[in-house]
């Protein structure tokens, strides 16, 4: 059975959700953020040099990095489900949006978060630049979801599992308004209606109400 080391209110929720979607057996080891720094506790840091979640154990294997973990579980335990193969017309779209989550979306939000914490005035050029980048990223996603129900196309996939954390839980740390993005908001409502997502959030973060609007 896979053991998921889950830091509360963190991107390790992706792994719990994936296992629920694939019906892969797992257990969760819960960790709580330091109340002052909001960082990982020493027990989680002892598992991996970067001290970040998620980390999984699968037999003798210990693996970090959410994208690597998601691919590993899909291939090793999920029979390739939620990952369109190269014979599928949506294969390239899947690859793009799967990697977009950690390659563009999450870094764009993170840069705004860090710059705002410096106390710079809202009109500072550096803050304005990172905000403009984030706005472009969200606009691109809004356009995509105006033409497809899910990021890879008409079917739900692991690209969606990789993406949703940044649009929901991450907004606890960096609030931003999705009112200008009706397709994004409708997409989050579709995600929130998925039984596997609801089960995953109730098990990983029962104290958290997902920010789905």
What CATH number is given to the structural domain containing 54? 3.40.30.10
Q: 185, 213 in Cβ contact below 8 A?
A: yes
- Main-chain phi, psi angles of 61, to 5 degrees: -85, 135
CA gap 138, 180 in Å, rounded: 10
Q: Please indicate, yes or no, whether the overall pTM of this predicted structure exceeds 0.85.
A: yes
Residue 132, number of CB atoms within 10 A of its CB? 12
Q: Could you report the per-residue pLDDT of 107-148, keeping only the tens digit for each?
A: 999 999 999 889 888 889 999 999 999 999 999 999 999 999
Same domain, 78 and 94: no
pLDDT score recorded for residue 187: 98
| Range 75-86 average pLDDT | 98
At residue 94, the pLDDT reads 98
Please count the structural domains in the chain. Answer: 2
> What's the token pair of residue 54?
């998620």
CATH number for the domain that contains residue 162: 1.20.1050.10
> 135 with 102, same domain?
yes
Is 131 a member of any domain?
yes
Task: Give the range of the structural domain holding residue 50, as residue numbers without chain letter.
Answer: 2-82+199-204
């Amino acid at each position: 059975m896979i053991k998921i080391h889950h830091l509360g209110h963190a991107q390790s929720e992706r792994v719990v959700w994936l296992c629920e979607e694939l019906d892969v057996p797992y257990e969760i080891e819960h960790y709580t953020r330091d109340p002052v720094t909001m960082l990982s506790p020493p027990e989680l840091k002892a598992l991996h040099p970067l001290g970040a979640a998620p980390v999984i154990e699968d037999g003798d294997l210990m693996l970090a990095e959410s994208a690597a973990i998601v691919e590993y579980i899909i291939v090793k335990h999920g029979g390739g489900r939620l990952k369109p193969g190269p014979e599928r017309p949506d294969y390239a779209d899947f690859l793009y949006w799967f990697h977009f989550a950690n390659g563009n979306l999450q870094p764009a939000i993170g840069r705004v978060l860090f710059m705002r914490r410096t106390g710079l005035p809202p009109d500072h050029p550096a803050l304005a630049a990172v905000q403009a980048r984030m706005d472009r990223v969200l606009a691109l996603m809004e356009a995509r979801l105006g033409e497809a129900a899910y990021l890879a196309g008409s079917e739900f996939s692991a690209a969606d599992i990789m993406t949703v954390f940044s649009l929901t839980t991450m907004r606890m740390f960096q609030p931003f308004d999705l009112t200008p993005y009706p397709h994004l908001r409708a997409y989050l409502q579709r995600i929130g209606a998925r039984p596997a997502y609801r089960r995953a959030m109730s098990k990983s973060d029962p104290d958290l109400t997902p920010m789905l609007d």
